[in-house]
Amino acid sequence: QVQLVESGGGLVQAGGSLRLSCAASGSIFSINVMGWYRQGPGKQRELVAGITSGGSTNYADSAKGRFTISRDNAKNTVYLEMNSLKPEDTAVYYCHADVLLRRITAYQEYWGRGTQVTVSS
C-alpha cells in the first residue's frame, strides 16, 4: 500500500520558523493533490495548504504570506515552510495525498500520522 511520513516538527519561539516534509512511499503510480492539515487543541482539523501535481497552490487565510507549500514529484515529497510562527499555529500537522496506485485507476486518499508543532510565546 502507501505510507506518508511527516518530519520537521518541533518547539520554536514565536516569530521563528520550521520546515515540514512528508514523503510518500509504496505502490504509487502518481499523486494528484498533496496538502497539509492541522488540528490544534480543541479545534477541528483544517486545511493549511494544498498543491496539485501541476504546482497550483492554495492556502488558508491564516497561512497566507507566512507559509509556503512546495513539492518534489520525483521524490513524492511535499514540504511546508512556516515563517513568523505564532502561538496559535500550535497543532499536530498532518500530510494528506490523493494517490493513484499502480493497478487501480482511481485516486485513493492517504493520511500521515502527524508531526507536532509547538510555538511558545
Query: For residue 76, what are the β-bridge partners?
Result: none
Model confidence pLDDT, tens digit, residues 26-77: 999 999 999 999 999 999 999 999 999 999 999 999 999 999 999 999 999 9
| Distance separating alpha carbons of residues 38 and 45, to the nearest angstrom | 5
18 three-class SS: strand
pLDDT at 109: 95
All 3 cell numbers of residue 112? 500521515
Diameter of the chain by CA atoms?
A: 49
- Report whether pLDDT(104) > 90: no
Are 93 and 115 in contact, with CB atoms under 8 Å apart?
yes
- How many other β-carbons are positioned within 10 Å of the β-carbon of residue 42? 5
